[in-house]
Amino acid sequence: MSVVIGVRIPKKLKEELEQLGIDYAREIREYLQRRVKEEKAKKLAEALDKLIEQTIEKDYSTSWIREERESRS
């Protein structure tokens, strides 16, 4: 299923697109699809960075606590 999105552009730009044979509807669709893909990848990378950071902090805390306990023995 698809929906229609309206975009206002200068008349001169539309004329130039048509003169050059550029399928602007396809160009806009492809651009929006690419942007969605980029944003999803960015959010995934941020989530992975956060997970890695938490894991590193947890591992550091665990090893630090272990060292402290062993030094007291």
Residue 2 lies in a domain: no
Do residues 37 and 16 lie in contact, with contact meaning Cβ atoms separated by under 8 Å?
no
26, part of any domain = yes
Which letter does DSSP use for residue 28 in this model? H
Query: Is the distance from CB of 24 to CB of 17 less than 8 angstroms?
Result: yes
The domain of 16 spans 11-72
Structural domain contains residue 5: no
Span 2-41, pLDDT tens digits:
999 999 999 999 999 999 999 999 999 999 999 999 999 9
Query: pLDDT tens-digit profile of 40-61?
Result: 999 999 999 988 888 777 676 7
In a domain, 16, yes or no: yes
Asked whether residue 4 is domain-assigned, the answer is: no
